[in-house]
A and B are shown apart, each in its own frame.
Chain A
Amino acid sequence: MNTPKENRAIALSQRVYKRLLRLYPRAHREEYGTAMAQLFRDQCRDAWQAHRGWGLAWLWLHVLPDLFKTAAYERLANRGERKPMFKKTFTEIRTRPAWLALFIVVSLSVFFLVVVAATIVTFMLPEQYSSKARIKVERDMIEAPGVTGRPHMTGVHDPYFIQTEFEVIQSEKILDQVIERLDLNTVWANKYNLQKLKYSESRALLKKMVELRPARNTSLVDITVYNQDPAEAAKIANTVAEVYQTYRREQSAMFLAYNADEYKKLIAELKKQLVVKTNDSKADDDKTSKMIERAARLYMASDGAGQTLAVEIIEHAEPGFRPVRPNKPLNIAIGIGLGLLLGLAAGTLVTMFAIAMRKQPAPAQ
């Protein structure tokens, strides 16, 4: 039984071939067009069964030059016929040097070959959906204690903050949790008919699907996931956002706990300081005021209510309605552009080579 992909590829090839049959004179087309199209369909089926997409591409590689050559021949043979398409061109070719015909045939062959190949490849690529979760990423108020052993307040501009966080999101620490929560090792193994995947394998797959992009001039980050299954794409995007949020919360909680502990110790010290006084009252005052200042700072740092939420999920991902990859119009447009370029280049090269060969003197008998 034919697979949908096979049907699609063969049907597309056949549609293109039927269009190209218009290059033949009408009488020839009416007499043999159906038979030629039928024969080409048989060839397509055999080529697909033998080598799938590559077989089709290889078939086109043989069929296109044959088509252009024989279409030109049939038109020249039928020059008495009244045919609007190409009539003028090929009539001119008859009276002009043969190199012009060679240039046109080679250029058109290469052009159509590239366009057809680009179109076939585009339609054969698996369709992917995208889902986007949006998060707001702020720096933590408190960071790890510095060399003084004291935690310090942030507020200094860090140009590498977002890049660092991107690396964190794509790190083993976050992605492995995503894999675990969604059981991707098993899900993907079943999907691709493989044995249970390792974390490293699933992580590599996941990294290819996840794309991170900052929203310009904001602290918002888009987590976009590309996947053949729209529901899975949304689930992964949301889980990445949630795991990262949890990770940042845990980090903050760790620092808060540390600061609360330090605060308690300092208060105990302060109490002792107030009881035991030295003879130097100024030094005592300085020490006491420094300790109070530090205690106040630690109190603020240990109080989670005073902090903003470091990571907030602004938008949850929803399954996409239509595939975003491959971008079919763009791919075909690139194919047309590339085909034009390569066609002209190939036509020029082959014609120059043919002229150069003709100009060479005949070898002495």
Chain B
Amino acid sequence: MTATQPDPENFLPLTPAVFHVLLALSDGERHGYAIMREVDQSTGGKIKMGPGTLYGTIKRLLAARLIEEAEERPDPALDDERRRYYRLTALGQRVAKAEAARYADMVRLARGKKLIRATLGGAA
């Protein structure tokens, strides 16, 4: 018997912090500090997450089963073995895709209204 998978649409819209964490984990497993740095770099420093926000978000994402803690620990010689690594679950990936699609729809809508230019990243 297979368990019914929750509908990703039920999780939307995501808060910016949640979406950025999901985006950071879409490339693979990361620990907390790596997630924070990825968010900082990918947003050009516009979004800075403190430890409180990051782990609050991780806690809620774990509870919602959108992410999970990676079982395997890295080689202690390469990294601190106490670090906890996180990765997206299948549901998390679907939710991230759904949110990205929602953003894409909104961008399309904004272009239609000529609020933003047709070129990617161009501001109105």
- Residues of chain A touching chain B, judged by Cβ–Cβ distance below 8 Å, are 24, 28, 31-32, 34-36, 38-40, 42-43, 62-63, 65-67, 69-71, 73-74
| Chain A residues within an 8 Å CB radius of B33 | 38-39, 42-43
| Chain B residues within an 8 Å CB radius of A24 | 52
Report Cα–Cα, A73/B55, bound state, in Å. Answer: 12
Residue from the list B32, B52, B55, B80 in contact with A69, Cβ < 8 A: B52
- Residues of chain B touching chain A, judged by Cβ–Cβ distance below 8 Å, are 32-33, 36, 48-56, 58-59, 80, 82-84
Chain A interface, DSSP helix/strand/loop, else mixed: helix
Report Cα–Cα, A71/B56, bound state, in Å. Answer: 9
Residue from the list A38, A66, A71 in contact with B83, Cβ < 8 A: A38
| Interface CB pairs A-B, < 8 A, 18 | A35-B55, A35-B83, A36-B32, A36-B51, A36-B52, A36-B55, A38-B33, A40-B51, A42-B33, A43-B33, A63-B50, A65-B50, A66-B52, A66-B53, A67-B50, A67-B51, A69-B53, A70-B56
A31-B59, A32-B55, A38-B82 in contact; A62/B48 too (CB < 8 A)?
Answer: yes
Report Cα–Cα, A270/B55, bound state, in Å. Answer: 104
| Chain A residues within an 8 Å CB radius of B49 | 66
A62-B50, A66-B52 in contact; A32/B80 too (CB < 8 A)?
Answer: no
Distance to closest chain B CB from A81 (angstroms): 14
Report Cα–Cα, A324/B55, bound state, in Å. Answer: 42
Distance to closest chain A CB from B58 (angstroms): 7
Q: Can you name the residue of chain A whose Cβ is closest to the Cβ of B52?
A: A70
Report Cα–Cα, A283/B78, bound state, in Å. Answer: 111
| Chain B residues within an 8 Å CB radius of A65 | 50
Distance to closest chain B CB from A61 (angstroms): 11
Distance to closest chain A CB from B8 (angstroms): 23
A35-B32, A70-B53 in contact; A28/B84 too (CB < 8 A)?
Answer: no
| Chain B residues within an 8 Å CB radius of A69 | 52-53
Residue from the list B50, B56, B58, B82 in contact with A74, Cβ < 8 A: B56
A-B interface, 4 closest residue pairs, ranked by CB to CB distance from nearest = A66-B50, A70-B52, A36-B51, A32-B55
Distance to closest chain B CB from A28 (angstroms): 7
Report Cα–Cα, A126/B82, bound state, in Å. Answer: 35
With A38-B83, A42-B33 given, name 15 new contacts (CB 8 A): A28-B59, A32-B55, A32-B58, A36-B32, A38-B32, A38-B33, A38-B80, A38-B82, A39-B32, A63-B52, A66-B49, A66-B50, A69-B53, A70-B56, A71-B52
Q: Can you name the residue of chain B whose Cβ is closest to the Cβ of A74?
A: B56
Report Cα–Cα, A65/B48, bound state, in Å. Answer: 12
Report Cα–Cα, A62/B56, bound state, in Å. Answer: 16
| Chain A residues within an 8 Å CB radius of B36 | 39, 43
| Chain B residues within an 8 Å CB radius of A43 | 33, 36, 51
Report Cα–Cα, A156/B77, bound state, in Å. Answer: 83
| Chain A residues within an 8 Å CB radius of B56 | 70, 73-74
**B54 and A34: CB pair below 8 A?**
no
Distance to closest chain A CB from B51 (angstroms): 4
Report Cα–Cα, A40/B53, bound state, in Å. Answer: 12
Distance to closest chain A CB from B52 (angstroms): 3
Q: Can you name the residue of chain A whose Cβ is closest to the Cβ of B35?
A: A39
Interface centre among A28, A42, A63, A65 (most CB of B within 10 A): A42
Report Cα–Cα, A114/B83, bound state, in Å. Answer: 31
Q: Can you name the residue of chain A whose Cβ is closest to the Cβ of B32?
A: A39
Q: Can you name the residue of chain B whose Cβ is closest to the Cβ of A73?
A: B56
| Chain B residues within an 8 Å CB radius of A42 | 33
Interface centre among B48, B49, B50, B59 (most CB of A within 10 A): B50
